[in-house]
Every structure is written in C-alpha cells, then in structure tokens.
Amino acid sequence: MSDSALYAQALPAGPIDPDAPLTLLGGLTPATFMRDVWHRKPLLIRQAVPGIVPPVSREALFSLADRDDVESRMVSYFRNRWKLDNGPFAEENLPSRKTRQWSLLVQGVNLHNTAAAELMSQFRFIPDARLDDVMISYATDGGGVGPHFDSYDVFLLQVSGRRRWRISSQTKLDLVPNLPLKILSQFTAEEEWVLEPGDMLYLPPQYAHDGVAEGECMTASIGFRAPAFRELAGHFLAWLSETVEDNEDLSGRYADAGEGATIHPAQLPANLTRAVAERLTAMRWTPGMVSEFLGTHLSEPKPGVEFAEVAELTARKYEKLAQTHGVVLAPASIALYDKTHFFINGEAYEPPAALAKWLRRLADNRCLTPEEVTACAPLPDLLETFHDWTMEGWLQLLPDAV
C-alpha cells in the first residue's frame, strides 16, 4: 500500500471546444472533423503535435512490456517469416536493437503513464465510450506488422523516428491463411508518406495500411472500440437475467404438478419448452435499461487493470484533504453517465439530481477542483462515496503542485 497512489500525477484535461480549430486535427475543428472525416476517410496531418516529446522512452516501454499486467506483443519478420509472440518480455529476451525487422507493441500505455493518458485525453471530442487505449510500438529498421486492416478507427501518431505508411481503399481484404497475424494476401498501395515525429495519420475501420519503420522508431496508436452487436447481445442477456429483481418475468422456477407419467424419459417435456418460451417471450426491456446495461458494461475496467491500494485514511481526514486538494479520477477509471445513472468501473448509481450534477462534472472533467468539492461536500453521502472510491484506488487527490 502506498501513499503516492493517493495523489494524481497531473491535472486531467477537460472537455474540448468542438468549434475551436485544433493543430492536432491540422486546423480543423473537432465538429468539422467529426462531420467530414471521422469513420469516413483517411487524413494525414503533418505536425499534429509539433515538438512532440515521446510519452515514454524506449527503456520505459521495454519495462512495461516486462510486466504481466500489461499486454504486449512482439512481431518479427526474419528470414521471410512472420512471427508473433505474446509478452511479458524480459529485455534480454528481445532481439537486439541492431537486428532489423522486428516490433514490440504495448497496449494500454495510458493506464500506466501520465503522458500517454494526457495524449489520449486530447481526443476527448470523441465520447469516452468509444475511446479505447493508447498502444505504443517500437520498431527497428524495416519493422512493422505487415499490410493489414483494423476493425476500429485509429490515429497513428509518430512519436519518434520515421515510418513509411502506405494505404489503400481496396475492398478485397482477404488474409493470408495460416499466419499467426492478420496479413492481407494482396495489398496495392494508393498513397504513401513518410511520417516524421509529430505527424499523424487517421484511418477509418477496414482501411488497408502498412507502416514500415525507417530506422528505429516509435508510433502511438490512439485506438477506439466499437462493440460488436452479437457480443453485446450476449452480455446484455446475461445482465438482464442478473437483474432479476427488476425482471418479474424471470422470477420463479419451472413447476410441473399434474405432468403425466412418461414412457419416453429422454424426451424434453413439451410443457417445459412451452413454459420457458413463454417467459422468454414475455421479457421486456426499455431503452433506459439498455442504457443502464451499456454504461455498466462499457465502464468495466479493462482486463488486467488493478487499482493501486492506498493507505487507510479516516473519513474525517479524507474530507479535509478532498476539500483542500480536489479529486481526480485515476487514469484507469472509466466514468460514464446517462440521463439517470452515473457509472464508474462497472458500477451503476442512480443519484438524486443535486448529486448527479457533480458526478457528471467529475466524469466530463475527470476532476473536481477544491472549490467544487467544497461546494458539493454538504450533499448527503457524497464525501463518503468519494472516500470509498479513493480507498478502492478509483479516485485520487490533486497534489498541491499541480
């Protein structure tokens, strides 16, 4: 348990003005970008982040790849053969930096590194429910993951060194069979650029691309998620059946008083099928329930996330600290809300209106200033809840220096 986990390392960025032109988007406003580009077509942005400082050094990336709570992969193309290995990787088990054509890819860097979390927050003109993570790759000369397509939107930001990107709008997306990674069987580039540090390429889903390092380089992928309907449906039905108290249709159990004696004991009783079918057909849900499910499901912490435990603090001491420092969501915390609920890390609350206002502000700004905490402190249960979340590692305090 540590006290350092009690304090955040930086003040998070709040919501972004949709109508202010952004260097990050090559001078487009978020509103224009979302209307004309997002999910529709690629966009190359030279110097999206001028004077970029890599969020992590190569050494820091390598040590993240050595952790078992961090997802990492190594892709190599040695002797004309693609190979994929999954981490963790001790540095001495990685090929030498002088060996050409290999890459190390580390997922969820934003969960462990404040600069990567800050980078991701620059994209919050896109809803948090869609933002996934920051993946950072390191490659030696000639390294890459081969021509492929992704199922999600992605911003590919060059953070150090140079990478040549080739892209294609081809609709033929067949993959080479029996390979450990997805490689297009045919790739015909239509456009190509060499990206320098600070340059960024946005690609919509299913857009074929191939990025090859020119010398050692690092690339950050700001990735998004779009849950598959089929997968969501499965989770929704499980959620629905777990909320049985609210779901009268699923209360009770099958009963068969009066069922006749059978001479076909292996046959499914028709009454059983009928009774279950009736109950399932009677199951109803409202858009409000779907929203509650989505908020709960999409705010679930990412696999492998463990919140840092903090040293026990008395409620009295906490209340004072929260009002003098303000509170901030831990980088791995996911907070969402809808009309009636507030969701944090997979839990749903239905706060009264006076409280909902502050929780929404916390979710949008990812922090409440000392003045804001002081203003909402008299609300019943609020500081107690903040105290609980802080002890869970979900919420932190802002350090004086920030």
**Residues near Co ion (CB under 5 A):** 150
CA distance 392 to 370: 21
The CB-of-65 to Co ion minimum distance in angstroms stands at 19
The CB-of-210 to ligand SIN minimum distance in angstroms stands at 8
Question: Is 393 among the residues that bind ligand SIN (CB under 6 A)?
Answer: no
The CB-of-38 to ligand SIN minimum distance in angstroms stands at 17
Question: Is 331 among the residues that bind ligand SIN (CB under 6 A)?
Answer: no
Question: Is 42 among the residues that bind ligand SIN (CB under 6 A)?
Answer: no
Question: Is 103 among the residues that bind ligand SIN (CB under 6 A)?
Answer: yes
The CB-of-397 to ligand SIN minimum distance in angstroms stands at 35
Q: Which of 110, 113, 160, 221 binds ligand SIN (CB under 6 A)?
A: 221
Residue nearest to Co ion (CB): 150
Q: In what order do the strands lie in the sheet with 342-344?
A: 335-337, 342-344, 347-349
Residues 143-172 that bind ligand SIN (CB under 6 A): 144-145, 150, 154, 156
With CB under 5 to 8 Å by kind, the binding choice for 211 among Co ion, ligand SIN, none is ligand SIN
Q: Which of 160, 219, 296, 345 binds ligand SIN (CB under 6 A)?
A: 219
Largest CA distance in the chain: 82
Based on CB atoms, which residue is closest to Co ion, 150 or 216? Answer: 150
Q: Which of 54, 198, 211, 331 binds ligand SIN (CB under 6 A)?
A: 211
Based on CB atoms, which residue is closest to ligand SIN, 156 or 328? Answer: 156
The CB-of-142 to ligand SIN minimum distance in angstroms stands at 12
Closest C-alpha to 219, from 193, 205, 201:
201
Question: Is 107 among the residues that bind ligand SIN (CB under 6 A)?
Answer: no
Residue nearest to ligand SIN (CB): 137
- Chain residues binding ligand SIN by CB under 6 A are 103, 137, 144-145, 150, 154, 156, 209, 211, 219, 221
